[in-house]
Amino acid sequence: MKKNILKYLFLAGTVTAVAVSGCRKETAADKVGGQAMDNGKSFIGIPDGLEQPHFFDPFTNIKTVDVFSIKRDAKSSADLQKDQTITLKSIPAAIDKYNEDHDTEYELLPASLYTVSSTSVTAGAGGDLTAKFAPGDFQHYFTIKLNGAKFDLTKKYALAYVISNAGGLDIHAASKDTLYTFFAIKNKYDGDYLSNGIFHHPVNGDRAITNRPKTLTTAGTSSVTTEIGDIGGVMTLTVNEATNEVTVSGNVSATQPLLPVAGKTNTYDPATKSFILNYRYPASTGDRVVEETIKRK
């Protein structure tokens, strides 16, 4: 008899623990906005951040992708038992603004490339999303089936949303702005690299670039983007796969384009998976010249 009583107490404790797991605790998102824990509020938010990239190795089948999750942080077990519906408004124009601000070229992910496969987060005719939280639900995923056979390797795609109806919940401070999700197929140059070389400055003299980590991100079938030297910004490296010659493009500012260096070349070495680069950009006190070798880790 004593064993049975202990068994029932254990089961009751387990049920209570499951119910409490969906109740809200203070999260990093609250702290970002200066919101201390407040048991008088329940929140909704995007727990993994507002920029979520999905970059894939080439594929031609149908891939299931959890694009992002939306999470309800309930203040109590009672709030967790409520039915609540959240709306995320599709804002394609925000992608153009993102491109302007970040010098990128994302396009809206065409509806022909994917179908929505989640039942708890669904899409309407205008692209808006509806997330339905039944009693006990605290996290749902927006999941799609992406058709790799239709994916254009020369393009990068995006979707953009904002929480427009929180269903009576408060929105986490870190989730109030636009949510961007990015999609691209990696080319063979995409990956993590180390840069070594010299930055020649006509006034301050030379400085070494030593084992500087760089990420090269797919920008087309044979193009990648990465940092300019050791100064930030974005440059594009495009490989002519017939000759392994590399074209360096981009700019430091509107009046400072990246230019070739007379008598020197830019090449890709497939044996060492390295970009051997020489480029420059103009400035009022003379050209800045960069020599660097960017080698895959």
68-85 confidence digits (pLDDT tens) = 999 999 988 998 999 999
Domain boundary among 185, 201, 230: 185
Q: What number is the average pLDDT over the span 103-112? A: 91
- What percentage of the chain carries pLDDT values higher than 90? 73
Residue 86, pLDDT > 60, answer yes
Provide the β-strand partners of residue 224: 218, 237
Position 60, amino acid: T
Domain boundary among 160, 185, 210: 185
Residues 84 and 147 in one domain: yes
Query: Given pLDDT bands bounded at 50, 70 and 90, which one contains residue 102?
Result: confident
Residue 100, pLDDT > 60, answer yes
Q: What number is the average pLDDT over the span 124-151? A: 94
CB 182 within 8 A of CB 156: yes
272-282 confidence digits (pLDDT tens) = 999 999 999 99
- Per-residue pLDDT, 219: 80
Residues 134 and 249 in one domain: no
Q: Count how many domains the chain has.
A: 2
189-245 confidence digits (pLDDT tens) = 999 999 999 999 999 999 999 999 999 988 877 889 999 999 999 999 999 999 999
Q: Strand 274-281 relative to strand 267-269: parallel, antiparallel, unpaired?
A: antiparallel
Provide the b/e sequence for 124-136 (b: ≥16 CB within 10 Å). eeebbbebebeee
Distance of alpha carbon 130 from alpha carbon 119, whole angstroms: 10
Q: CATH no. for residue 129?
A: 2.60.40.1740
Residue 31, pLDDT > 60, answer no
Residue 6, pLDDT > 60, answer no
Domain boundary among 162, 185, 208: 185
List for the chain the helix, strand, coil content (%; round to 5): 15, 50, 35
Closest CA relative to residue 172, chosen from 32, 49, 22, 44: 44
> Is residue 149 in a domain?
yes
- What percentage of the chain carries pLDDT values higher than 70? 87
Distance of alpha carbon 256 from alpha carbon 231, whole angstroms: 13
> Is residue 122 in a domain?
yes
If one compares 186 and 17, the residue with the highest pLDDT of the two is 186
Distance of alpha carbon 145 from alpha carbon 295, whole angstroms: 35
3 state SS of 79? helix
Residues 37 and 180 in one domain: yes
Distance of alpha carbon 150 from alpha carbon 113, whole angstroms: 6
Residues 38 and 119 in one domain: yes
Domain that holds residue 251: 191-296
- Per-residue pLDDT, 154: 79
What residue spans of 128-286 are helical by DSSP H? none
Residues 88 and 118 in one domain: yes
Residue 24, pLDDT > 90, answer no
| Mean per-residue pLDDT of the chain | 87
Residues 133 and 258 in one domain: no
- Per-residue pLDDT, 112: 95
